[in-house]
Amino acid sequence: MTSTEERRLQEVFRSLTRKLRINGLRLVWMPTANNGLRGEIKNDCVYIYEVDPDKAIETLKHEL
């Protein structure tokens, strides 16, 4: 994971939450977490576990 990839994921997150009018969520990308999930929302946080940046974006879209 590079800072460019993480920045891109954050930009997609901000864009989607703005379009969907979702407030109060945080994004955490944990690409090394291996718990059998691609992503999940817990409390006020969207966790993305995908290692591949493009798959991480698709998972983010699915979770939102």
Residue 64 has pLDDT above 80, yes or no: yes
Residue 20 has pLDDT above 80, yes or no: yes
Q: What is the pTM of this model?
A: 0.87
- Beta strand spans in 1-64 (E): 26-29, 39-42, 45-48
pLDDT at residue 39, rounded to an integer? 95
User: How much of the chain, in percent, has pLDDT values that exceed 70?
Assistant: 95
State how far the Cα of 58 lies from the Cα of 38, in Å rounded to an integer.
10
pLDDT in tens, 31-53: 887 678 999 999 999 999 999 99
Q: CA quadruple 36, 63, 2, 6: dihedral positive or negative?
A: negative
pLDDT at residue 2, rounded to an integer? 72
